[in-house]
Amino acid sequence: MSETLVPSHQTAPEAGAGVGPTLRELRLARSCTLNEVSTRLKFSVRQLEALEGEEWDQLPGGQPLRGMVRNYARFLDADIAAVLVLLESQVTDTTAPKPVPRSNAGASLSSADLSLYADSRAGFSWIWILIIIAFLLVAGFYAIDRGWIPEEWLFFDWLKELKK
């Protein structure tokens, strides 16, 4: 079920001549829903809708966009090279990546919540450093008590007395 896509060289593409409508038509021809494609390709339904609707500002640019279109075309058994040529003719900036738009899922956190998490991280590392130092001291004194450390390594007299 491999279909070859011929890129349109017209200035204003007709309905179904762009990358998005072409991918939508191929998906519908395979009787796949956006949820099925999303599950298979690991792209969100919102990203797939933006791609099929050619909402380029909602999608990353550059290589991530090319990879997304390539994977979608491969899933639909389309001619990948032709789809990428069609993408190049529509989107001029496929070389420089754009940042991915952030979702509003974390918008409910206030600045007080964010500072709470940031402050707890700094104190946590000091606790681990103190635990490691205490462990090394205990292990060192245990090694001295057992006689595992040679006497010439013990520089202080009080350490030599611990060994006896």
Regarding whether 88 and 44 lie in a shared domain, the answer is yes
Phi, psi for residue 133 in degrees, rounded to 5: -65, -45
Regarding whether 50 and 10 lie in a shared domain, the answer is yes
116 domain residue, yes or no: no
- Domain limits for position 32: 1-103
Regarding whether 81 and 141 lie in a shared domain, the answer is no
Q: Which tens digits make up the pLDDT trace of 33-75? A: 999 998 998 888 999 999 899 888 888 888 888 999 999 999 9
Compare 83 and 106 and report the one with higher pLDDT. 83
61 domain residue, yes or no: yes
Looking at the 3D structure of the chain, how many domains does it have?
2
115 domain residue, yes or no: no
Give the residue among 24, 94, 88, 99 at the shortest CA–CA distance from 65. 94
114 domain residue, yes or no: no
135 domain residue, yes or no: yes
Q: Which tens digits make up the pLDDT trace of 135-164? A: 999 999 899 888 888 888 888 777 777 766
Compare 88 and 11 and report the one with higher pLDDT. 88
3-state secondary structure 112-143: HHHHHHHHHHHHHHHHHHHHHHHHHHHHHHHH
Secondary structure (3-state) at 84: helix
What is the predicted pLDDT for the residue at 30? 92
Separation CA 3–CA 76 (nearest Å): 9
Q: Which two tokens stand for residue 51?
A: 């791609």
Regarding whether 98 and 20 lie in a shared domain, the answer is yes
Q: Is the dihedral of CA 89, 92, 96, 99 positive or negative?
A: negative
79 domain residue, yes or no: yes
What is the predicted pLDDT for the residue at 75? 92
Compare 92 and 50 and report the one with higher pLDDT. 50
Regarding whether 85 and 49 lie in a shared domain, the answer is yes
What is the predicted pLDDT for the residue at 7? 42
Alpha carbon distance, N-terminus to C-terminus of the chain: 85
Q: Element (H or E) spanning 50, and its range? A: helix 45-52
Regarding whether 62 and 24 lie in a shared domain, the answer is yes
Percentage of the residues of the chain whose pLDDT score is greater than 90: 26
Regarding whether 29 and 70 lie in a shared domain, the answer is yes
CATH number at residue 32: 1.10.260.40
Would the pTM of this model clear 0.85, i.e. be above it?
Answer: no
Regarding whether 62 and 143 lie in a shared domain, the answer is no
pLDDT-derived band of residue 13, with 50, 70 and 90 as boundaries?
Answer: very low
Mean pLDDT of 112-120: 53
How many helices (H) and strands (E) are present in the chain, helices listed first?
7, 0
Last residue of a domain, one of 59, 74, 103: 103
Last residue of a domain, one of 55, 73, 103: 103
Residues constituting the chain: 164
Give the residue among 99, 107, 102, 79 at the shortest CA–CA distance from 23. 79
Q: Which two tokens stand for residue 147?
A: 């006689």
73 domain residue, yes or no: yes
